[in-house]
Amino acid sequence: MKEESATWGHAPPKLMTMAMLPIAVTLIAHPLLPLLLPDNILNLLPDLPPQPTFPALQASIGFSFLSFLGIVWTVPSIAQPFADKGLRGRDLCKPGGRESGPWVPECMGLPLACWYIALMMLFIPFPFSHMFTPRKGEEVGRETFPQAELSLYLSSLLSLFTATLLGFLDDLFDIRWRHKLPIPLIASVPMLLVYYSEGGLTSVVLPRIADKWLSAAGLHVGRVVNLGPLYYLYLILVPTFTTNAINILAGINGVEAIQALVIAASILLNDLLFLPIWPRSFLIALGGVGNPHEGRLLHWAAGEVVKRHLMSSYFMMPLVGGILGFLWHNWYPARAFPGDTFCYFTGMAFSAVAIQGHFSKTLILFFIPQIFNFILSCPQIFHIVPCPRHRLPKYSEATDTLSPSVAEFTKPLTWPAIIILRIFEALRLVRLTREVEHAAYNGKGSTKQVSTRSGRIISCTNMTILNFLLVNFGPMRESSLCTLLGAIQVGGSLVAFGVRYGMASWVYGGDRR
């Protein structure tokens, strides 16, 4: 079994490793020097570069290099034992397909998660490093140590662990849906308690227009509405959404990883925009990002918002590195599959930083393609339109391309199904096949005909974003489809930034964070 076209990871890049390792070590060690060496030795060192403004952020870049290298080197060495335990799958969009496609090790999100969590555990002391060299007269103790900040890190790591373990068990044992359901709820208890302990902001700012409407309806709730326990319900739903969103948009080489990469990079970019490192003119040129009336700039001095976005970037930096390392093996032709572990783990990482950093609504904006995919899928998920077992695009060995897979309708369709199909067709979301009756010279006959406006619908392309792309852009290679989806994810993030920084100030007015 194993010999038969099994491919366990690509070879790791030796030269790149040799180049990256010393850079990583330098980036991490540099901010540690003042802590480890006494002043008189430090003064002897010739021309040491000055300490960075954000020492922990610099170390974080070093950790992201380590995260990249760790996963690049781990996958090939652990693929075999994983495959031996049944953690492997056929690559379906390759010659042979479901029957004899190449074996690829599954669940390679686990080494990524383990590396990442281990690195983050080692990283935790860095943001607190100023506490290790107390100034004269200061004493480190429960009074002076920023305990609240520490519990943010600890509870985020706890949630990541829960997601990883759950994902791994799911990959191993295919846990039933109803058994999985309560787990994100349990996993979010520590995070919510920490959120509560932090002051537990549960109010939302209403858009000006909503306030106007509500006032017109006689409900004078004001611009700031305290949702109370409802807000915690929303906070529980965020991880449930993010952990499943990527999992649903899956199936071709690299597609889970490219989504996660773009989302992580978008969060990171958003975090960096909040750091006081940009010239004011640049922010204003970005179209109101640095609008001084937006309140954000004015709060820089307070530090709280900066701190939260710093923490978020500490988490995202090594994640970007790790996902890039994973893509090394997962990019077409894939030599490693992510498994549920990858989707749960990355999804939980996004939720954790967004909840703790108070930007969960911005986060959801970064999931535009996933939300589109989910809405598109709804008619099939809820069985209004018949849904085949697999909805992956169809691989054609002759052309080495993917084309949309279809759902064949053997039974007559219900009228809601027909309405949905017609609307989706008009919006170019699906392509329908119709049976057109016509008079042939030897009597009655029928021909299948694509995309005519009349006749009985006998099949439709499956309702996923991948099939939607193939319908509109025509058949293409697997790697092209993955790249296209990555581009769309980038486009989604651009829209998200536009909404967050452009429209938001227009919709909400000035007084928001």
State the residues that interact with a second copy by CB under 8 A: 78, 81-82, 85-86, 114, 117-118, 121-122, 124-125, 128, 131, 140-142, 145, 147-148, 150-151, 154-155, 157-158, 161-162, 164-165, 172-173, 183, 186-187, 189-190, 193-194, 196-200
Closest contact distance (angstroms) between CB of 512 and a second copy is: 21
Backbone φ, ψ for residue 396 (5° rounding) = -110, 115
Complex with a second copy: residue 132 or 506, whichever CB lies closer: 132
* Residue number, 162 or 377, with CB nearest to a second copy: 162
Residue closer to a second copy, measured from CB, 26 or 77: 77
Distance CA 147, CA 145 (A): 6
User: How far apart are CB 181 and a second copy at their closest, in Å?
Assistant: 13
Distance between CA atoms of 504 and 209, rounded to whole angstroms? 12
Direct distance between the N- and C-terminal alpha carbons of the chain, in angstroms, rounded to an integer: 57
For residue 198, the tally of other CB atoms under 10 A from its CB is: 15
- In whole angstroms, the minimum distance from the beta carbon of 174 to a second copy comes to 8
The full 3-state SS of 375-387, as one line of letters, equals HHHHHHHCCCCCC
Which backbone phi and psi does 432 adopt, to 5 degrees? Answer: -100, 155
Q: Least Å distance between CB 319 and a second copy? A: 18
CB of 89 to a second copy, least distance (A): 16
Q: Which is nearer to a second copy, 51 or 197 (CB)?
A: 197
Structure tokens at 486: 């990555």
- Closer by beta carbon to a second copy, 7 or else 202: 202
Would you say 114 or 465 has its CB closer to a second copy? 114
CB-based burial, 77-101: b 16+ in 10 Å, e otherwise: ebbeebbeeebbbbbbbbeeeeeeb
Please check whether residue 313 is in contact with residue 269, taking contact to mean a CB–CB distance below 8 angstroms: no
Closest to a second copy by CB, 11 or 140: 140
- What H or E segment, with its residue span, contains residue 153? helix 147-173
The least CB distance from residue 196 to a second copy, in Å, is 7
Closest CB to a second copy among 155 and 380?
Answer: 155
At closest approach, how far in Å is the CB of 141 from a second copy?
4
Q: For 448-472, give the DSSP string.
A: EEES-SSSEEEEEE-SSHHHHHHHH
Please state the closest distance from residue 294 (CB atom) to a second copy, in A: 25
Closest CA to 157 of 389, 329, 318: 318
Q: How far is the CB of 404 from a second copy (least distance, A)?
A: 36
Toward a second copy, which CB reaches closer, 115 or 326?
115
- State which residue, 82 or 103, has the beta carbon closest to a second copy: 82
Nearer to a second copy, 82 or 367 (CB): 82
Which of 510, 495, 497, 500 shows the shortest CA–CA distance to 208?
510
Using DSSP's 3-state secondary structure scheme, residue 433 falls into: strand
Residue 224 CB contacts under 8 Å (≥ 6 apart), including other chains: 203, 204, 205, 206
Q: Give the nearest distance from C-beta 290 to a second copy in angstroms.
A: 28
Is residue 105 within a helix (H) or strand (E), and if so which, with residue range? strand 103-105
The pairing of beta strand 203-205 with beta strand 103-105: unpaired
Q: Residues 384, 386, 391, 396: what is their CA dihedral angle, to the nearest 10 degrees?
A: -140
Tokens of 72: 């690049």
Token readout for 74 is: 């781990």
- Taking the complex as a whole, the smallest distance from the CB of residue 119 to a second copy amounts, in Å, to 9
